[in-house]
Each structure stands twice: as structure tokens, then as C-alpha cells.
């Protein structure tokens, strides 16, 4: 399990724009660099990030070799109803991680 940080408000008014910021620990190895032994290090990237708000996809991003290690992704969504946000990062070497956060809408 990689370390991940999600920063967002716990509560919001209906119709508010909620800012969500995510940070995950990942090397984002490009597949082009040589290691200390001179051999090319195999590619190890997060390829896709998605956020589902009560099973509705509200944000997704494709990530590429130019993205730095420990990618930071910030986006916003509209607070519609109280529910759960599910964040998923998937990538090379079968990498997959899911985090959840709940949002209470008044």
C-alpha cells in the first residue's frame, strides 16, 4: 500500500464547489532511465487516476512519463448529496490503490 493524502472539506452546502487535493507516494519511473548498475529500469508509472462520487465518475486523469514522482492531483466537484468519494490510482506492475472519503452535504 502506497501512502496517500487526501485533503478536502468534510462538509459542504448543496451546490458548493468542493476542492479536492490528492497526493500519492509513487516513483513514476519513466522506463528510460538507467539505474546504478547501468541497466534500464523498467517502466513503473501510475497510468490512470479516477474519482467516483457515489459511483458517478466525476474526474479522471491519464498520467504519462513526464509526470513527477509522488503525483499531486487537485480538482473540484459540485456537492450534490451526502456520499462517499472513491479515489483509485492504477498503473504498471499491477499497481492499484483505492482510498475513500465521505462528504456530508447540508
Q: Which residues bind another protein (CB under 8 A)?
A: 3-5, 7, 21, 23-25, 27-28, 68-70, 72
CB of 55 to another protein, least distance (A): 26
CB 59 within 8 A of CB 77: yes
Taking the least distance from each CB to another protein, the nearer of 42 and 54 is: 42
Taking the least distance from each CB to another protein, the nearer of 6 and 58 is: 6
Rounded-to-integer distance, Cα 7 and Cα 9, Å:
7
CB of 72 to another protein, least distance (A): 6
In whole angstroms, how far apart are CA 88 and each of 32, 34, 53? 26, 29, 12
Amino acid at each position: 500500500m502506497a501512502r496517500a493524502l487526501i485533503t478536502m472539506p468534510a462538509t459542504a452546502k448543496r451546490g458548493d464547489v468542493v476542492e479536492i487535493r490528492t497526493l500519492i507516494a509513487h516513483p513514476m519511473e519513466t522506463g528510460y532511465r538507467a539505474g546504478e548498475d547501468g541497466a534500464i529500469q523498467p517502466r513503473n508509472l501510475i497510468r490512470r487516476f479516477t474519482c467516483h462520487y457515489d459511483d458517478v465518475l466525476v474526474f479522471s486523469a491519464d498520467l504519462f512519463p513526464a509526470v513527477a514522482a509522488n503525483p499531486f492531483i487537485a480538482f473540484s466537484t459540485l456537492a450534490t448529496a451526502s456520499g462517499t468519494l472513491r479515489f483509485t490510482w492504477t498503473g504498471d506492475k499491477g499497481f492499484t490503490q483505492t482510498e475513500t472519503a465521505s462528504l456530508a452535504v447540508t
